[in-house]
Amino acid sequence: MDRLRDFLDDLKKRALARSNFLGLLNVLIGRRITAPDGSLVSSGVTWRELSALLKGVRWDKAAVRDFGLEPAALPPRDRLKYWYTAIARAEVGSERATEAGDKLAQKLERLGYQVGPAPRA
């Protein structure tokens, strides 16, 4: 989990997921990610785990606007519930999310990360 937290910190610092938060959710939940050195970053996480990670790295709450949610419409005081609700409403398994995840995967591959394909139904 520490590798994933470091990965999120790196993405946040480089602003790689800016305007593509839906793609980030799709990649983190449903895909395998390996670091440039070949070590495993993640093999996918649950919504609950991802909610805790986003809370822990203090991800910008306004990122939910990328997929049409208004931050004020989500639970304001409980960050864990805020992120969980946002993920639930994001439709992370949709074709749109998969396309967004593919775009983010291309950016990550330029940095040396390997991102597996999206699961297909």
Tell me if 76 is assigned to some domain: yes
For the chain, the domain total comes to: 1
Contact 23, 30 (CB under 8 A): no
d(CA 35, CA 111) in angstroms, rounded, equals 9
Instruction: List CB contacts of 59: < 8 A, sequence separation 6 or more.
Output: 8, 12, 83
Helix, strand or coil for residue 92?
coil
Tell me if 90 is assigned to some domain: yes
The pTM score is 0.92
pLDDT digits 0-9 by tens, 55-86: 999 999 999 999 899 999 999 889 999 999 99
Domain that holds residue 23: 2-113
Predicted pLDDT of residue 92: 92
Tell me if 119 is assigned to some domain: no
d(CA 34, CA 78) in angstroms, rounded, equals 31
Contact 2, 8 (CB under 8 A): no
